[in-house]
Amino acid sequence: MRQIGTLPKTLDPKVFTDYLLTLGIKSRIDERPEGWCLWIYNEDHVEQARDQLQNYLSRPDDRLYRDAVEAALAIRRQEQQLDQQFRKNYREVTDLWAYPGLRRRPLILALVAVSLVVFVLLESPNHASVVQNRLRFSTSYVDLEGRERSNGLNNILHGEVWRLVTPIFLHFGILHLLFNVWALSSFGTLIELRRGSLRLAGLVLIAAVVSNLGQYLYMERVDPGEPQLFGGISGVICALFGYIWIKGLYEPEQGMILHPSNVTWVLLYLALCMTGAVGPIGNAAHVVGLIVGVAFGVLRF
């Protein structure tokens, strides 16, 4: 959102914002002592809106602007009808396996299934160490002094590129798993239904790689050379949350809207995690994942 100028108090700001709406430009007005500050939501519309503002200021009584009022009213009515229809069809995902059908969200089903299988294997004494070593981001070795040291990026650089992604399937504890599965299903289902499995797959893959790499680099900076073990799909979940959040703000027609209170609670939870009050958390993965999701939302992915 960017401010493009100020309307004097002698002019009705609604006339101009209605006109912008008929051009497909969404705007917001803030009252200030010096006048009405005009903000444009979409960065792509800033230059056009700025030119239109100059035209309006030079001839505010032009009938063109008065005639736009009725057209803007019709547009707002249509938007209201679409919003009502969306809210009628929208539901909170409280029952994971009910509507919508599993065939409509195959990727989310696959991610949940893999997470559950990996967790079961990690709980098995016969498979835990093997599975963990194959899926973790970086393995470790024992040096000549008997200390365990990190192999860093050596595994990945020597062809084990799956390690960039697979830590998202490592969950340490049943609560960790259940919370992440619930959040993944809630956010991921909405995206898969509205934007398709392929687009969701791209977002998940990039968010997994970037958030895992961000967590690795952060831990390496804090404890250079020390063994690293982190996991969980929460970095991806933060990306999905950020994506839906931005889409709801700037492309509500996509049908992905989060209630403002839900946004506030998620952001407060992420802030709480950073305090350490809830135990060891992959905060770097959370932050990086959120940035990835917001960026993809802004880029109209």
Instruction: Give the chain's domain count.
Output: 2
Tell whether 112 and 84 lie within a shared domain. no
Q: Could you tell me the CATH number of the domain that includes residue 64?
A: 3.30.70.2350
pLDDT given for residue 83 in this prediction: 65
Tell whether 130 and 81 lie within a shared domain. no
Final residue before a domain boundary, out of 56, 89, 122: 89
96 assigned to some structural domain: no
Tell whether 159 and 293 lie within a shared domain. yes
94 assigned to some structural domain: no
Cα 243 off chain centre by: 3
Tell whether 60 and 117 lie within a shared domain. no
Residue ranges, the chain, pLDDT below 70: 82-102
224 assigned to some structural domain: yes
Tell whether 31 and 126 lie within a shared domain. no
Tell whether 81 and 120 lie within a shared domain. no
Please give the residue range of the domain that contains residue 27: 2-89
Final residue before a domain boundary, out of 89, 122, 139: 89
pLDDT given for residue 82 in this prediction: 66
Tell whether 151 and 240 lie within a shared domain. yes
Final residue before a domain boundary, out of 68, 89, 110: 89
Cα 163 off chain centre by: 23
- Rounded to two decimals, the pTM is 0.67
pLDDT given for residue 192 in this prediction: 93
